[in-house]
C-alpha cells in the first residue's frame, strides 16, 4: 500500500460511496468528505476547503455542469495536492473521448 491519499467528495452519496469502497478494495488510502461525514466538506464554504485538501494526492469530484464554487475548489485542489492532483469523475472520461474524434 502506498502513502498516497485519494480524496472522495460526496462520499455519502450513491457514486462517492461506491468509489470509496472500490478504492479501498484496491488498497488505496481514502479520505471521504461530505457535508455529513466526519471530514466535513461543503462546496459553499471555501474556508473549509484547505483542511480537506491537506495531504491528498488525488481527488474524486463530480463538478456540476454549471460554473460555481466547486469549480473554484477543483482549481484549488490541483494546486494543493503533492504532487499535483489528478482529478477523476464521470464526466472526465467522456470529455477525453470527445477530444479524440
Answer yes or no: are the C-beta atoms of 16 and 68 closer than 8 Å: no
Report residue 46 as a C-alpha cell. Answer: 471555501
How many Å separate Cα 88 from the centre of its chain? 7
The whole-number pLDDT of residue 98 equals: 29
Q: What is the pLDDT of residues 51-101, one digit of tens each?
A: 999 888 888 887 667 777 777 887 787 776 555 445 555 554 433 332 333
Residues 35-50 have a mean pLDDT of 88
Coil, strand or helix: which one is 46? Answer: helix
CATH of domain 5-99: 3.40.50.720
* Domains of the chain by residue range: 5-99
42 to 33, 67, 77, 87, 93: CA distances (angstroms): 9, 16, 14, 18, 25
Q: Return the H-helix or E-strand segment holding 58.
A: strand 58-60
Strands 86-88 and 29-33: unpaired
Amino acid at each position: 500500500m502506498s502513502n498516497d491519499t485519494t480524496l472522495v467528495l460526496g462520499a455519502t452519496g450513491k457514486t462517492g460511496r461506491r468509489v470509496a469502497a472500490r478504492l479501498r478494495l484496491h488498497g488505496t488510502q481514502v479520505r471521504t468528505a461530505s457535508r455529513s461525514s466526519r471530514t466535513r466538506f461543503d462546496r459553499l464554504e471555501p474556508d473549509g476547503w484547505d483542511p480537506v485538501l491537506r495531504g491528498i494526492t488525488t481527488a474524486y469530484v463530480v463538478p456540476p455542469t454549471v460554473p460555481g464554487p466547486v469549480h473554484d475548489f477543483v482549481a484549488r485542489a490541483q494546486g494543493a495536492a503533492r504532487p499535483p492532483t489528478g482529478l477523476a469523475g464521470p464526466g472526465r472520461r467522456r470529455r477525453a473521448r470527445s477530444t479524440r474524434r
